[in-house]
Amino acid sequence: MTSVTTSAPPRKTRRAKAPPERREWTGLAFVLPFLAVFVFAIVAPLFYAVYLSFFQDRLVGGSFFAGFANYAQALTDPLLHVGLGRVLLFFAVQVPIMLGLGLFAALAIDSGRLRAKGAFRITLFLPYAVPSVVAALMWGYMYGNEFGLIRQIGDAIGVATPDLLSASWVLVAIGNIVTWSFVGYNMLILYSSLRSIPTELYEAAEIDGAGAIRTAFSIKLPALRPALLLTTIFSVIGSFQLFNEPNVLRALAPTTISSYFTPNMYAYNLAFNGQQYNYSAAVAIIVGAVTVVVAALAQRLSRAGEK
């Protein structure tokens, strides 16, 4: 190390004297394609949405600058509050179940005690490959109160099944679809994280006399913390973005699933059925901000747990 530092000074001075224009810009050329797409597809629409949210456009009277009026309206909009409350509840109940199942599956596959673990892994992951609209349609058929598969099985074995598309069950029904779709996805993230734990740790644990359960709690789970945080944040986003599943099921349950069932559905219906693009933009920005806050909270909590 010392030899390096002693030989360095002359080069250092030469570099310091070099004019600033000679900085290397070739790297930029490599990033440019990405930056261009990023700016046009993500940054520009974002700013455009913010811009839109400061206007109002009426069917009679046209467009005018409205300042923060859209935001003031959205913050006190009971329909938006109901939607946000619903996705929060959904997040609080569905996400722990989904991540718990994903974690259990990842640990089971990683334990090496499963036969045909490749087949198990791919089967669990397969639902993720089904587009969410198709998944919702498929489950919708099964949920149907009159001719749905679940009701028919219930009838066959003499069990009274509830109406899964009624107000008290529909959130559970949606949670089931989302869990079915995403357990495998989360399992894969957690499993790949498990695979990257150095084998020395396991060997050391074995030498220390730790069993499978002890290894899981003392080595695997701590090592999984970052991956768990990642899946949690994805799930926060997923919950607040809930749209496809309720929107598809709405055809079957037009009154239990309202047009403002989730914040995203509300924003969609405001924009596309009500022509209230500007108000919709404000609603979307508020929902985005809430999502960021919840995601940040999740991160903060996880970091606090680490210490």
User: How many CB atoms neighbour CB 85 within 10 A?
Assistant: 11
User: CB-based burial of residue 3 (10 Å sphere; 0-12 exposed, 13-18 middle, 19+ buried)?
Assistant: exposed
Q: Is 273 in the site for other proteins (CB under 8 A)?
A: yes
CB contact at 8 A, 287 and 84: yes
Q: Is 95 in the site for other proteins (CB under 8 A)?
A: no
Cα of first residue to Cα of last residue in the chain, in angstroms, is 34
Q: Is 179 in the site for other proteins (CB under 8 A)?
A: no
Minimum distance of other proteins from residue 174's CB (angstroms) = 17
The span of 57-65, 119-127, 178-186, 200-208 binding other proteins (CB under 8 A) equals 57-65
Of 68 and 141, which has the nearer Cβ to other proteins? Answer: 141
State which of residues 111, 145, 161, 218 lies at the interface with other proteins (CB under 8 A).
145
Minimum distance of other proteins from residue 204's CB (angstroms) = 17
Q: Is 68 in the site for other proteins (CB under 8 A)?
A: no
The span of 13-21, 90-98, 109-117, 268-276 binding other proteins (CB under 8 A) equals 268-276
The span of 105-113, 122-130, 210-218, 293-301 binding other proteins (CB under 8 A) equals 293-301
DSSP letter assigned to residue 21:
G
Q: Is 241 in the site for other proteins (CB under 8 A)?
A: yes
Mapped onto helix, strand or coil, the DSSP state of residue 48 is: helix
Of 94 and 232, which has the nearer Cβ to other proteins? Answer: 232
State the number of binding residues for other proteins (CB under 8 A): 69
- Tokens representing 269? 């219906």
Per-residue DSSP letters for 263-292?
A: HHHHHHHHHHTT--HHHHHHHHHHHHHHHH
Q: Is 161 in the site for other proteins (CB under 8 A)?
A: no
Q: Is 48 in the site for other proteins (CB under 8 A)?
A: yes
Q: What is the chain's alpha carbon radius of gyration, rounded to the nearest angstrom?
A: 26
d(CA 285, CA 48): 11
d(CA 235, CA 223): 20
How far CA 213 is from CA of 58, 101, 116, 205, in Å, comes to 63, 17, 22, 11
Site of interaction with other proteins (CB under 8 A): 42, 45-46, 48-49, 52-53, 55, 57-63, 141, 144-148, 193, 196, 223, 225-226, 229-230, 233-234, 236-237, 240-241, 250-256, 258-260, 264, 267-269, 271-275, 277-278, 280-281, 283-285, 287-289, 291-292, 295-296, 299, 306
